[in-house]
């Protein structure tokens, strides 16, 4: 998921969109209410892009977890974040079976599910499209690029040939 400019502010409910940077603060907009407010530099501000979840191997970015929930729910809303602890743990284990049960608390799972549901309701869940490396381009694209390069070279040669010779002094 693309989570750029979506932030969470400690002590404030919900998620916010980053709008502008001030001298000692930033202007943010609450995703659910649309209210604009100021978040001061003394607040603990976390970009969802930078949040990861502990797993048995390596930390998993929040965007990848949202991708898994999105795929599991087929783009619909997930379970209620206010469900009981056992239901939340069971659901999260189905989505991320390798998560660290010692380091990830129920409160973390609630927050992740709540954030997913907020983003889903607001239509903010946009899957990242992996870019194709240069080698994987379609043959037609390669041919088009080669033809454009050849035309450019030919144009340059024609301009040089058409220009009158410079007079000697």
3-state secondary structure of 18: strand
* pLDDT value of position 74: 87
Query: CB 18: neighbour CB atoms within 10 A?
Result: 16
* pLDDT value of position 157: 55
Given a contact cutoff of 8 angstroms between Cβ atoms, the answer to whether 31 and 124 are in contact is: yes
Helices and strands: H and E segment counts in the chain: 4, 7
Given a contact cutoff of 8 angstroms between Cβ atoms, the answer to whether 12 and 35 are in contact is: no
Beta bridge partners of 30: 16
* pLDDT value of position 22: 85
Task: Identify the CATH number of the domain defined by range 6-121.
Answer: 1.10.10.1650
* pLDDT value of position 41: 86
Strands (E), 67-106: none
Domain ranges across the chain: 6-121
Q: How far is CA 56 from CA 10, 25, 73, 93, 112, in A?
A: 27, 37, 24, 12, 18
Contacts of residue 91, Cβ cutoff 8 Å, sequence gap at least 6: 78, 79, 83, 109, 113
Half-sphere exposure of 117 (CA within 13 A, CB side): 13
Per the listing, tokens 């970009």 go with 47
Residues 120 and 165: their CA atoms lie apart, in Å, by 67
Mean pLDDT by 10 residues, the chain (169 residues): 88 92 92 93 91 92 93 90 93 94 94 93 78 54 66 58 56
């Amino acid at each position: 998921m693309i989570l750029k400019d979506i932030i969470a502010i400690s002590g404030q409910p919900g998620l916010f969109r980053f709008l502008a940077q001030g001298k000692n603060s930033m202007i943010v907009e609450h995703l659910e209410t649309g209210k604009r407010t100021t978040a001061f530099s003394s607040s603990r501000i976390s970009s969802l892009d930078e949040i990861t979840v502990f797993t048995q191997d390596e930390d998993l970015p929040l965007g990848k977890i949202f991708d898994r929930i999105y795929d599991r729910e087929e783009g619909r809303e997930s379970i209620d974040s206010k469900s009981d602890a056992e239901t939340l743990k069971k659901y999260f284990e189905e989505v991320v079976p390798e998560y660290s049960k010692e380091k990830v608390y129920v409160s973390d799972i609630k927050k992740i599910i709540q954030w997913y549901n907020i983003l889903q309701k607001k239509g903010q869940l946009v899957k990242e499209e992996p870019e194709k490396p240069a080698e994987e381009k379609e043959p037609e694209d390669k041919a088009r690029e080669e033809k454009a390069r050849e035309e450019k070279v030919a144009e340059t040669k024609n301009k040089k040939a058409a220009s009158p010779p410079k007079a000697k002094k």
